[in-house]
Amino acid sequence: MSKITFLGAGSTVFAKNVLGDCLLTPALQGYEIALFDIDHQRLQDSANMLNNIKKTSGSTSIIKAYTDRKEALSGAKFVVNAIQVGGYDPCTITDFEIPKKYGLRQTIADTVGIGGIFRNLRTIPVMLDFAADVREVCPDALFLNYTNPMAVLTNVMNTYGGVRTVGLCHSVQTCVPELFKHLEIDQTGVKAKIAGINHMAWLLEVSKDGVDLYPEIKKRAAEKQKEKHKDMVRYEMMLKFGHYITESSEHNAEYHPYFIKRNYPELVDRFNIPLDEYPRRCVDQISRWKQMREDLVNDANLTHERSHEYASYIFEAIETDVPFKIGGNVMNTGLITNLPREAVVEVPCLVDRNGVTPTYVGDLPPQLAALNRTNINTQLLTIEAAITGKREHIYHAAMLDPHTSAELSMDDIIAMCDEMIEAHGKWLPEYK
């Protein structure tokens, strides 16, 4: 019996999408779906939810919850990772409140920036523990990472974990549909090419019947910018740098030095930037969980429709040898030639029985590569800090971050990092 192991299975809604998709996939019938989470109540909730879908879908897969991680991983052919280390309370609160004391405001704080750096530092040790287990009990498994910060964690698993890892983010497959819907353009028959880094990949080409659609897209986007909407940062970046970005405006507002600025407070209002957006989402989700739990876990008639998440399609392509194209996060083995080879890049990949094969992109337009490199700098120094245990590299990562360095002095950045390390306490290893 083949086996799919889901780490972080207490993420019940996400488990419904990824594993519910697997239960509906003909090529994956008869699989064991192995669930693991350190929160045993949420683990059982997810198991109950998936058994409800199994019953209504007629799936022949077996749902099994594990409290021992190594047992959950043993013999797995595929592993899906969706953990969050430290949760909302205390770690996300710390990621937002301490920087705010220094005048540094954030929106999501899960990729780069101070929040992203410290989310990485507390997650990397756990991921390396996963890697050790994978090497021991399922060394040939394909590891699909959905956890943010995507680029750094995927890099660490490949470079230091010795595990065949691909990072997946749904911003690639939603990029064109959401853009075209907002601009009221028919997307039927549209061809698109996307590449860059996670959360800052670029819509490099977009055409229909051989006609470049960018002139029309930019014309309509310029009109949209005359009134407030939720995607103003991405439109502004496209109009200034020439290309649309895959990830949302609330994310990209904090990846660049242009939008969240104490000396220009009007920019936050002008570009409709939702400061403290992620903590609000967390509080909202916590408040809604009781009803969501009732709807998902206790509904014996729960059904599911296959989502746009890549995981089940990847497993299906490998099992059937029917090719499927994804946007995947992989090591830059010369795929994007003007980005560092030691970085993780997000590029089109072909999936079949051979696994996940990335495609060659070549040079990005120079201004786009330059923007990517500003974020890659912080990513690579964060990895250096985690692997060496040297506190100075945490400072380097923060001082190189575009938003942080635009707002704070070097002394304030170092003081803030020290306070963050102290506040995280046991959630971090010791840094010397």
Ligand-binding annotation for 91, yes or no, is no
DSSP conformation class of 91: I
Catalytic residue among 170, 229, 393, 403: 170
Ligand-binding annotation for 417, yes or no, is no
Backbone phi, then psi, for 360, in 5-degree steps? -75, 135
10 Å Cβ neighbour count for 101? Answer: 9
10 Å Cβ neighbour count for 325? Answer: 13
Helices (H), 253-301: 266-270, 277-297
Specify whether the backbone of 282 is left (phi greater than 0), alpha (psi in -120 to 50) or beta: alpha
CA distances, 42 to each of 35, 56, 156, 407, 427 (Å): 11, 21, 27, 40, 21
CA angle 109, 122, 174 (to 5 degrees): 40
Of 331, 292, 278, give the one whose Cα is nearest residue 161: 331
Q: Provide the residue type at 34 as one letter.
A: A
170 counts as catalytic: yes
Binding-site residue set for substrate: 148
The catalytic site residues sit at 170
Binding-site residue set for Mn(2+): 169, 199
